[in-house]
Structure 1
Amino acid sequence: MKKTMVITGAASGLGRALAIKAAAQYDVAVLDIQAQAGQQVVDEIQSQGHQAAYFNCDVTDAQAMDTVAQQVLSHFGHVDVLINNAGIASEGGVEASSIEQWNRVLSINLMGVVHGCRAFLPYLKQQPEAAIVNVASFAALALAPYMASYNVSKAGVVALSETLRAEMVGTGVHVAVACPAFFKTNLTQSMIDSHDKMKQRIEKWMESSSFNADDVAQDILTAIDKKQFMVLSDQKTKNQWRVARWLPNVFFRQKIKFIKRLN
Structure 2
Amino acid sequence: MPEKPNLIAMHINYKIATKAILSDIDISVHKGEVLGVLGPNGAGKTSLLKILSGQVFCQGNVFWKQKNLKEYSEMQRAQQIAVVNQINDSVFSLNLQQIVRMGLLPHSSLISRATPDDILRIAQALEKVGLTEKTQQTFSSLSGGEQQRGLIARALVQRADLIVLDEPVNHLDVYYQHQVLQLLTSLARSLNVTIIMSLHDVNLAAHYCDNVCLLNQGKLIAKGTPEAVFTTKQLSEVFRLPCAVTEGASNKSFHVNFYPPYQTDHHLTKGDC
What's the TM-score bracket when you normalise by the shorter of the two chains? 0.3 to 0.5
- By percentage of residues, which structure has more helix? 1
Q: TM-score, normalised by structure 1?
A: 0.35
Bigger Rg over Cα: 2
More relative contact order in 1 or in 2 (CA 8 Å, sep 6+)?
2
